[in-house]
Amino acid sequence: MPVKPHIFKRAVLGLHARAPDRALQVAVKMADLLQLELLGLFIDDSSLHALANISFAREYHMLSGAWQPMDPRQLARDMELAARSADRALAEAAGRLGIRSRFEVIQGSAAETIASISGHDDIIIIIEPASLAERNTQQYAWLVDAAFRSAAAVMLMPTRTARSAGPVVAVAASPDDRSVAVAAAFAAAANENLIIIEQYEGAAPGAGAQMLAAGGEFAVKRLPVRSVPFSGVSGLSAALGPLQERLVVVSSGIVEQNVIETIVSAHRVPVLVIGPHASRSVESRQLPE
């Protein structure tokens, strides 16, 4: 019996001032591959405008590449220009693949906006800025934090991906971790193999891994790493080292947010963080007798 398609219906691209073009193309291609609706979302964050009215506030200026005092009127103009630029970039990336996209500018706080528009069948895709200074801006931090607090799954995308093909990796903290089902659906859609990093006690595979292997649609490789903790970067980084993965899928709460962000930057691979609802993404089926 084939793997059931994933439950996700929409990709919400959280666009910031200067999303790298190549990474944007990869994000759009992934949405197309998974047959998701595509929404480009630019948040004109009201919290940022409030911050601009504080006399000692400083901002990283994209054009000059330097920190400078915030000017509320200049901020408004810069946000308008950034939104137009993001709209054009999304239209061009979607146009190259011949897919439809929608773009919206929403004024309000990032937390309230993301919470109000996102659901369990959304994937919020956030592309990391090209420069470290931009990644350290308050605007980007608000966007990432809002995404992780929402009901949606969150995919962090590196500025430049290391590869466009390779296995999909599920990080499993238990025999039936929901990341396995979601990663299997992604692997099937991308025609890639599946690797399950098993970070739990006990040698027996979970029922999900057994069923996938029995299906025979793609190769399923189990990689037990029970003695390696994933609380820090080194453990997960070492486990991923030789795999040449295309995508990593992990359940929320298994790996800390700062570890995920480091893995995205260091390994240059997208990481998808899912919630409990995503366990429905693979159809239940009986093991062969």
Which pLDDT tens digit goes with each residue over 50-67?
Answer: 766 776 667 666 556 677
Q: State the pLDDT at residue 168.
A: 94
pTM for the model: 0.81
Q: What's the rounded mean pLDDT across residues 115-128?
A: 91
Task: Indicate the pLDDT class of residue 20, thresholds 50, 70 and 90.
Answer: confident
Asked if 68 and 207 sit in the same domain, the reply is no
How high is the pLDDT of residue 212?
Answer: 55
Is residue 2 a part of any domain in this protein? no
Q: Which residue has the tokens 């630019």?
A: 42
**Within-domain flag for 197:** yes
Rounded distance between C-alpha atoms, residue 286 and residue 289, angstroms: 9
Euclidean distance between CA atoms 231 and 96, whole angstroms: 40
- pLDDT for position 277: 54
Adjacent-strand bridge partners of 162:
none
Whether residues 202 and 149 share a domain: the answer is no
Residues 17 and 153 in one domain: yes
Asked whether residue 150 carries a pLDDT value surpassing 80, the answer given is yes
Choose one of 110, 133, 157: the last residue of a domain: 157
Q: pLDDT tens, 231-264?
A: 667 778 888 888 999 999 999 888 888 889 989 9
The count of domains in the chain is 2
In the prediction, which pLDDT does 284 show? Answer: 31
> Does 145 share its domain with 226?
no
Residue 118 has pLDDT above 50, yes or no: yes
Q: What pLDDT does residue 289 have?
A: 30
Has residue 185 been placed in a domain?
yes
Q: Is the pLDDT reported for residue 99 higher than 80?
A: yes
Same domain, residue pair 111 and 18: yes
Supply the pLDDT for residue 44. Answer: 82
Residue 246 belongs to some domain of the structure: yes
Sign of CA dihedral 241, 144, 44, 40: positive
* Residue where one domain finishes, among candidates 157, 177, 211: 157
**Which pLDDT does position 283 carry in this prediction?**
36
**150 and 22: one domain?**
yes
What local confidence, expressed as pLDDT, does residue 282 receive? Answer: 37
* Highest mean predicted confidence (pLDDT) among 137-146, 225-234, 251-260: 251-260
Amino acid 288: pLDDT: 29
Q: 143 and 178 share a domain? A: no
Q: Is residue 286 part of a domain?
A: no
Does 34 share its domain with 148? yes
Structural domain boundaries, residue 202: 168-281
Residues 81 and 150 placed together within one structural domain of the fold: yes
| Residue where a domain stops, chosen among 99, 125, 157 | 157
Shared domain check, 224 and 263: yes
pLDDT at 177 over 70: yes
pLDDT of residue 70 exceeding 50, the answer is yes
User: For position 183, which CATH number holds?
Assistant: 3.40.50.620
- pLDDT tens figures, 179-215: 988 898 889 888 899 999 988 776 555 545 545 544 4
